[in-house]
């Protein structure tokens, strides 16, 4: 079955330093191995895809990417350069790769324009955003222009985790909890709720948000979000769709990246519908073959398996 992965990372020598603060998420030898794989675009990666039965990788710059750059003008230049490199790589292997742009969100207008250039001139399929940008989240009024362009271009923004601005008190003295095992998921789910309650999806009703890691826990809590929101008289917030869960059903798409486990997949299908779930591996941080084997064996209908493997991606990303 044709299989398309949506959370497939790479990095360049020039940009690898932005990820230094993330190296603590893995044992040193594991990080070194992942770093080596991130730098390879068309060698070992293609062989691993062939071995795993992964037909297409939608490539994205590894977290935190350009967003860790403090100088906005450097971010603008480097985002354009890495998007050009990505487009050139895809042009060499158009049947094996597609891509999500990196955006210099430090400069919102430039980020919107770079998204437009990436989609209309480079053929990229949207953008991947790594959490906050120098403390600014995607519901910030200054970043509405990025949503305006994404909506107008009809491309998704993929919200991927990164280290938070600070360490929440509850995680203090437990570094094991900071990173992809726990804090990144909480942080990304909270960021998503900021978008809902911050009115982004009321201003851009058909904006498309992608989340990895089986929706960062959100498919599990739809009913409780609605129930406890009502319990507090909606906190004085008016939501055009009526309930927070409606946004998660309408604006949200999720990928299976980094979660090779049937119970959360079945929950997500029941909560959001199979049309909202797309395949991803989180390469090189998860094993590609483990992910494709999980999808092949998951206890779901063949129709749903085809949607998740490729049908939904072909429709959402116009592949
Ligand atoms: Mn990832």
Distance 257 CA to ligand 1 centre (A): 7
CA dist list (Å): 300 to 155, 289, 305:
28, 19, 7
Q: What is the pLDDT of residue 105?
A: 98
Distance 251 CA to ligand 1 centre (A): 20
Asked if 107 and 113 touch (Cβ cutoff 8 Å), the reply is: no
Q: What is the pLDDT of residue 99?
A: 98
Looking at residues 32-41, what average pLDDT do you find? 97
Asked if 268 and 277 touch (Cβ cutoff 8 Å), the reply is: yes
Asked if 124 and 86 touch (Cβ cutoff 8 Å), the reply is: yes
Distance 247 CA to ligand 1 centre (A): 23
Distance 288 CA to ligand 1 centre (A): 12
Query: What 3-state DSSP class applies to 72?
Result: helix
Query: What 3-state DSSP class applies to 37?
Result: helix
When pLDDT is cut at 50, 70 and 90, the band that residue 77 belongs to is very high
Reported as type and span, the H/E element at residue 10 is strand 4-10
Q: What is the pLDDT of residue 114?
A: 99
Q: Cα torsion for 21, 25, 29, 35, to the nearest 10°?
A: -60
Looking at residues 292-315, what average pLDDT do you find? 98
Distance 115 CA to ligand 1 centre (A): 20
What interhelical angle do 288-297 and 44-52 show, nearest 10? 20
Q: What is the pLDDT of residue 24?
A: 87
Q: What is the pLDDT of residue 228?
A: 96
Distance 256 CA to ligand 1 centre (A): 11
Looking at residues 179-191, what average pLDDT do you find? 97
- The predicted model scores a pTM of 0.98
Q: What is the pLDDT of residue 21?
A: 86
Looking at residues 278-301, what average pLDDT do you find? 98
Any catalytic annotation for residue 282?
yes
* CA nearest neighbour of 218 among 178, 262, 187, 179: 187
When pLDDT is cut at 50, 70 and 90, the band that residue 31 belongs to is very high
Distance of CA 15 to the CA centre of its chain: 19
Task: Cite the DSSP H helix spans in 70-221.
Answer: 72-92, 108-120, 144-153, 183-197, 200-203
Looking at residues 215-233, what average pLDDT do you find? 97
Looking at residues 90-103, what average pLDDT do you find? 98
* CA nearest neighbour of 46 among 109, 92, 107: 92
Asked if 217 and 185 touch (Cβ cutoff 8 Å), the reply is: yes
From the list 107, 139, 187, 282, the catalytic residue is 282
Q: What are phi and psi of 35, to 5 degrees?
A: -65, -40
Reported as type and span, the H/E element at residue 258 is none
Asked if 260 and 286 touch (Cβ cutoff 8 Å), the reply is: yes
Q: What is the pLDDT of residue 56?
A: 98
Q: Cα torsion for 203, 76, 6, 164, to the nearest 10°?
A: -80
Q: What is the pLDDT of residue 44?
A: 96
Reported as type and span, the H/E element at residue 127 is strand 127-130
The pLDDT tens digits for 234-253 are 999 999 999 999 999 999 99
Q: What is the pLDDT of residue 137?
A: 98
When pLDDT is cut at 50, 70 and 90, the band that residue 27 belongs to is very high
% pLDDT > 90, the chain = 98
Distance, in Å, from the CA atom of 31 to the CA atom of 11, rounded to the nearest integer, reads 13
The pLDDT tens digits for 102-124 are 999 999 999 999 999 999 999 99
Angle at 215 between CA 70 and CA 192, to 5 degrees: 50
Query: What 3-state DSSP class applies to 170?
Result: helix
Average pLDDT, the chain: 97
């Amino acid at each position: 079955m044709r299989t398309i992965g949506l959370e497939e990372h790479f990095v360049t020598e020039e940009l690898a330093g932005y990820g230094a603060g993330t190296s603590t998420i893995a044992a040193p030898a594991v990080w070194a191995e992942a770093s080596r794989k991130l730098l390879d675009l068309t060698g070992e990666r293609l062989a691993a895809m062939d071995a795993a039965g992964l037909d297409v990788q939608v490539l994205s710059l590894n977290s935190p990417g350009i967003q860790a750059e403090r100088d906005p003008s450097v971010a603008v230049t480097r985002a354009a350069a890495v998007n050009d490199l990505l487009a050139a790589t895809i042009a060499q292997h158009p049947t094996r790769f597609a891509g999500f742009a990196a955006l210099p969100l430090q400069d919102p207008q430039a980020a919107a324009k770079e998204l437009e250039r990436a989609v209309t001139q480079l053929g990229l399929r949207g953008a991947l955003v790594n959490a906050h940008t120098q403390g600014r989240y995607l519901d910030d009024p200054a970043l509405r222009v990025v949503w305006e362009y994404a909506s107008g271009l009809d491309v998704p923004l993929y919200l991927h985790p990164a280290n938070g601005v600070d360490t929440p008190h509850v995680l203090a003295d437990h570094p094991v909890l900071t990173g992809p095992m726990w804090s990144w998921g909480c942080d990304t789910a909270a960021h998503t709720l900021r978008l809902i309650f911050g009115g982004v999806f009321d201003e851009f009703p058909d904006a498309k948000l992608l989340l990895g890691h089986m929706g960062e826990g959100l498919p599990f809590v739809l009913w409780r979000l609605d129930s406890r929101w009502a319990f507090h008289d909606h906190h004085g917030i008016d939501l055009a769709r009526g309930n927070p869960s409606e946004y998660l059903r309408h604006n949200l798409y999720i990928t299976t990246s980094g979660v090779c486990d049937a119970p959360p997949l079945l929950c997500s299908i029941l909560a959001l519908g199979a049309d909202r779930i797309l395949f991803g591996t989180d390469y090189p941080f998860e094993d590609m073959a483990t992910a494709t084997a999980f999808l092949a064996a998951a206890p779901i209908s063949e129709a749903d398996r085809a949607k998740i493997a490729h049908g939904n991606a072909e429709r959402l990303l116009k592949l």
